[in-house]
Structure 1
Amino acid sequence: MAKLESNFKNMFLSLFTICLVVAALLAQVNKMTAKPIAEAKAMKLVNAIREVVPPFDNDPVAEAYKMPDGQGDSLTVYPAKKGDEIVGFAVNSSSNNGFGGNIQIIVGFDTENKIVNYSVLQHSETPGLGSKMTQWFKDTTKPNQSIIGRDLSSGPLKVSKDGGNVDAITASTITSRAFLEAVNKAYAVYKESDADSGAITKEEKGESK
C-alpha cells in the first residue's frame, strides 16, 4: 500500500512540474508576442484610417476621442488634419444586426457631409454572400449600390427594398441593412464632430457663432 501511495505522489509531482513548466513557457510566449500583435493591430487601424479619409499629416489615433451615437453607446472618432485644418473624420462604427452577428467598420467623411470611403474591420457574414460588403458598396461603376461620395445630409441610407436608393447585396439584405445601419450611426457622430470642430475654429479666430 505504501508503494502505491509513493507512486501516486511521484505521478502527482511529475504532472505538477510539467504543468508549471508549460504555464511558464506559455506566459513567456504570450509576453514575446503581445507587443508585435499590438503593433500589427495599431498599424491595421492606421492603414484603415488612411484608406477612408483625405490625405492628412497629423496623428488621428493620438487625437482620437469618443462621441455618443444617440443610441446609448459611443463611437471613436479620428480627426484628420492638414496643418491646423480639419480635412475629414474617420468614425469607427458597428452593428449587431448582421446575419452573422456583429459587423465593425470604419467610415471616412470629408467636411461636406460626403462619404470618402469605408473599410470593414471585422465581420462573421457568410463567405461569398454577406462578405461581399467589403467591396460591394464601394463599386463606383454601379452608382445604385456604391455609397462613395454620397451626401448623407439629405437623409439616412436605406436599401431599395426599404424605400431607399442603395442596392442591397444579392441574397444578403440582412447584411446590407446592418452595414448601412453602421454607416448611418457613423454619420450621426460625424455631424456632431464636424459641428464641434467648426465652433472651435471660429473661437480660435475670434469669430462669433
Structure 2
Amino acid sequence: MDKKTVEIIRLPLILALVVVLGSAALILSHSATKEKIEEQNRQRILNSLRLLIPDALHDNALLDSAVEIYEPEILGHRAPMQMYQGLLQGELQVLAVPVTARDGYAGDIQLMVGVTDGGEVTAVSVIAHQETPGLGDLIEASKSDWLQQFPGKTLLNPEEQQWTVKKDQGAFDQITGATITPRAVVIAIKKALSYAQEQFQ
C-alpha cells in the first residue's frame, strides 16, 4: 500500500474516531446533566409542596403521593400533570392541584394551588410563566407579596361573583399596570378550588 493510499484511509479513520469520542463525551455529559436537572426539579417541587401542604397536615412522603391527572377543560392542562396528596394517618387532608391559566398576558401561567379538605387555600405557587418582567412577573412570591391574599380563601369567601380582581368589581387586588395577568391567576385559583372540592367528596 503506497503512502498516498495510507493517507486517504487514515484521514477518514481519524475523523470517525473524533466523531465517536465526541459523541461519547456528549452522551456522558448529557447523562450527568440530566440527573442534576432532575434533582433540581425534584427539589424545586418539594420546596413548593412544603408551602402548599404544611407539615402539620401530612405525615406521608409528598413526592411519592403524586397522582397523574389530565384536565384540559377544567384545569387548562396541555399535558398530563402531577397532583400531590397530603395524608395524615392515611386520611386525605390537602391536595396540591396543578392548574394552567391559558389567558395570561404572555401565554400560559402554570400554578399549583394547595387546598385543604375544608376547602381553604393553603398557598399558591407559580411554577412557570412568561409574563413581562417588572409587571406580570410580580405574581411570583419572590418579587411581591401579591399571592399572600389567597391563603384562607374558599369558594364562599369571597362570594363566587367576587372571584376576580377589583377592577372587575372583585375582591382581589390587581397589579398596577398588569390587570390581565392577575385576572387570569385569580380565575385559575378558583378553578383549582372547585376541582379540589370535588375530589374531597
TM-score by length of structure 1 reads 0.76
C-alpha separation in 2, matches of 1:77 and 1:104:
13
Matched, 1:65 2:67: yes
Asked if the contact 2:115/2:121 (under 8 Å) is kept, the reply is yes
CA offset digits 1:133-190 (Å, max 9, x no partner): 0134334xxxxxx122111244272112223211111111111122223212321221
Asked if the contact 1:120/1:134 (under 8 Å) is kept, the reply is yes
| Closer, same or farther: CA 39–8 of 1 in aligned 2, 3 Å | same
C-alpha separation in 2, matches of 1:20 and 1:99:
46
**Stretches of 4+ aligned residues off by more than 6 angstroms:** 3-10
Asked if the contact 1:75/1:91 (under 8 Å) is kept, the reply is no
Superposition RMSD in Å: 2.7
Residue of structure 1 aligned with 2:131, choices 120, 125, 130: 125
Aligned residue number for residue 202 of structure 1: none
C-alpha separation in 1, matches of 2:44 and 2:123:
16
Query: Percent identity at matched positions?
Result: 27
Task: Give the AA of the match of 1:76.
Answer: Q
| Closer, same or farther: CA 13–101 of 1 in aligned 2, 3 Å | farther
3-state SS, counterpart of residue 79 of structure 1: strand
Asked if the contact 1:69/1:189 (under 8 Å) is kept, the reply is no
Residue of structure 2 aligned with 1:148, choices 145, 148, 151: 151
Aligned residue number for residue 97 of structure 1: 103
TM-score by length of structure 2 reads 0.79
After superposition, residues 1-209 of structure 1 pair within 5 angstroms as: 14-55=14-55, 56-67=58-69, 69=71, 71=73, 73=77, 76-135=82-141, 136-139=145-148, 146-153=149-156, 154-155=159-160, 157-195=163-201
Asked if the contact 2:124/2:150 (under 8 Å) is kept, the reply is no
Asked if the contact 2:102/2:108 (under 8 Å) is kept, the reply is yes
Asked if the contact 1:103/1:179 (under 8 Å) is kept, the reply is yes
Greater shift after overlay, 19-28 or 73-82? 73-82
| Closer, same or farther: CA 4–169 of 1 in aligned 2, 3 Å | farther
Corresponding residue pairs, total: 187
Asked if the contact 1:54/1:110 (under 8 Å) is kept, the reply is no
